[in-house]
């Protein structure tokens, strides 16, 4: 039995895991806030956001605030569901490993 088969590859990266963690507990989060929270470069963050958006796990809102562009992100319903399932599978993995090592 492959104990990691049920983990979602879309969340393998620590940056994507961080993005989704932030978006799961906040409604809309703008790019600078994500960048600061995750301590990553613009390009690195942008590429991971684009990948998550391409999988429809997050949505993007572009607007102007005081004539300045502002880009914000939030998890979609399917993104929330997929991330919760990923977390459940991580928990199952931990329990499985613990159980197999204590037998």
- Tokens of residue 2, six digits: 């492959």
- For residue 74, what pLDDT is reported? 98
Go through the domains of the chain in sequence order and give each one's CATH number: 11-102 (1.10.10.10)
Q: Structure pTM?
A: 0.90
Phi, psi of 57 (to 5 degrees): -90, -20
HEC profile of 14-31? HHHHHHHHHHHCCCCEEH
pLDDT tens by residue, the chain, 103 residues: 577 888 999 999 999 999 999 999 999 999 999 999 999 999 999 999 999 999 999 999 999 999 999 999 999 999 999 999 999 999 999 998 887 777 6
| Cβ–Cβ < 8 Å for 57, 16 | no
């Amino acid at each position: 039995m492959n104990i990691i088969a049920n983990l979602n590859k879309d969340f393998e990266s620590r940056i994507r895991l961080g993005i989704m963690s932030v978006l799961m507990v906040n409604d809309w989060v703008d790019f600078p806030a994500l960048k600061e929270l995750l301590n990553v470069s613009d390009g690195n963050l942008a590429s991971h956001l684009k990948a998550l958006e391409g999988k429809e796990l997050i949505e993007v809102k572009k607007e102007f605030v005081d004539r300045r562009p502002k880009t914000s992100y939030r998890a979609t319903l399917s993104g929330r569901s997929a991330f919760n399932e990923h977390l459940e599978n991580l928990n199952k993995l931990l329990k499985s490993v613990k159980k197999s090592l204590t037998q």
